[in-house]
Amino acid sequence: MLVFALKRTGALIVVLFFLTATVFVLGKVGNADPVRTYVGVNASAEAVAEAREELGLNNPVYVQFADFVGGLFQGDLGISLATKRHISDDLASALPATLELAFMAIGMSIVIGVLLSSLYTRPGRIGSALRFVFFSLASAPSFLIAMLSVLIFYKWLDGALPAAGRSSYGPYDDGTGFYVLDGLLHGSLTYSGDALAHLVLPAFAASIGPGVALARVLADGITSSMKSPWARTARSLGESEGTVLRRHALRNASSPALSLLAVQAGMMVSALVVVEQVFSWNGLGSYLKTAIGVGDFPAIAAICLILGAFYVILNALVDVVLAAVDPRVRLS
C-alpha cells in the first residue's frame, strides 16, 4: 500500500509539472500584451519599459519559467494586471468561498447518489416517476437548475431559501473565509445555520448531475454484485441479504462509484464558475469573470492552475482510497 501511494504521488508531481508548463506556455503564445493591460493602452514608452522590467518580461523565457515555478512553491501566484496586487491576496476570500461551496456540493452529490441508488431498482410507477424526474434534472445544464431553484425556492415559496450571497451577516474580521466554520469557531450556531442555508441552492444546482450519475453506477454495481455467483455462495453459507450487501456488494460496487465521483467532482468544480454567477457568490468564478473581461492572464492562469491541481489531487486521493478498498487496484 505504501509503495502504491508513493508511486501515485510521483505521478501526481509529474502531472502538476506539465500542467504548470502548459499554463505558462499558453500565456506566452497569446496575442495580448500583458504590459499594456498593466499600465494602460495610453501609457508612455518609458512607463511600458519600466513595467516590462518590473514584471520580469525582459528575462529569458527559461528564467521566467523558473521564477514562475519558484513563486508557486512560495505561494506567490504573481501580480494581477488589473488590480496591481498579488493574486494570492486577491484570492484570500475568493478561494475559501469556492472551496466551501465545492465541499458542500460534493457531500450533497454523495448523499443524492446513495439515496437515489435504491430508487433505480424500485419497481412500479413511483420508481419510474422518480427516475424520470432526476434524469431530467441531471440532463439540464447547471445554470438552468440554478435559475429554476431560485424561481421555486425564493420566488414561489416566498424566500424559503436565500438566493444570493454567502451570508446575511457578513464575514468575521478574523475569520477563515469558510463561513460555516467561522460560525462554529465563534460559537454562533445562528451564523453557521444562515451560511448553510445560503449554501443549499448553489450546492444543489452543482451536485444534482453528479449525484444522479453516481446513483446509476452504484445501483448497477450493487445489482450486479447481488446476482453474482459469490453472492449466491454467501447466501448458501447462511448469510442474510443485509450481510451480503454490506460485506460484499457495497465494497465491490464502491470502486467504480469512487472513480466516477472523482471525475464528476472535477467537472462540478468547473461548473461552479457558472453557478456562482447566478447566486452572486464571490468565489473563483466571479474573480475569473473579471479577469477574463480585462485580459488579466496571470489571474486567469492562477485560477486554471488551482482548478487543475484540485482535479488532479482529488483523483490521486481517490486512487489511494480505491487501493485501500480494493487490493486489485494495487496489483494492477
Does residue 312 belong to any structural domain of this protein?
Answer: yes
- Is the pLDDT score of 332 beyond 60? no
Kindly report which listed range (56-65, 105-114, 123-132, 311-320) carries the lowest average pLDDT score: 123-132
| pLDDT of residue 31 exceeding 70 | no
Tell how far CA 7 is from the center of its chain.
24
Q: Higher-confidence residue: 200 or 71?
A: 200
User: Among 178-192, 202-216, 244-258, 275-289, which is the least confidently predicted range?
Assistant: 244-258
Q: Are 269 and 307 in contact (CB under 8 A)?
A: yes
Grid cell in block for residue 231: 453472492
Q: Could you tell me if residue 9 is inside a domain?
A: yes
Q: What is the domain-level CATH number for residue 98?
A: 1.10.3720.10
Provide φ and ψ at 48, rounded to 5°: -65, -45
On the question of pLDDT at 258 being above 90, the answer is no
pLDDT tens, residue by residue, 128-160: 776 677 677 667 777 788 888 888 888 788 778
What distance in Å separates the CA atoms of residue 110 and residue 214, rounded to the nearest whole number?
8
Q: How many domains does the chain have?
A: 1
Q: Is position 38 within any domain?
A: no
Asked whether residue 63 is domain-assigned, the answer is no
| Angle of helix 297-325 versus helix 250-278 axis, rounded to 10 | 160
| Average pLDDT value for residue range 247-262 | 74
Instruction: Supply 108's cell numbers.
Output: 450533497
Q: Is 128 inside any structural domain? A: yes
**Full residue range of the structural domain in which residue 21 is found:** 2-31+77-331
Cell numbers standing for residue 199: 449554501
Decide if 175 is inside a domain.
Answer: yes
d(CA 91, CA 83): 12
Q: Are 301 and 27 in contact (CB under 8 A)?
A: yes
Query: Given CA atoms 169, 286, 86, 313 in this order, what sign does their dihedral have?
Result: positive
In a domain, 36, yes or no: no
Q: What are the backbone angles phi and psi of residue 79, rounded to the nearest 5°?
A: -110, 130
Tell me which of 111-115, 116-120, 294-298 is least confident: 116-120
> What would the grid cell of residue 181 be?
466554520
219 located within any domain: yes
Q: What is the pTM of this model?
A: 0.78
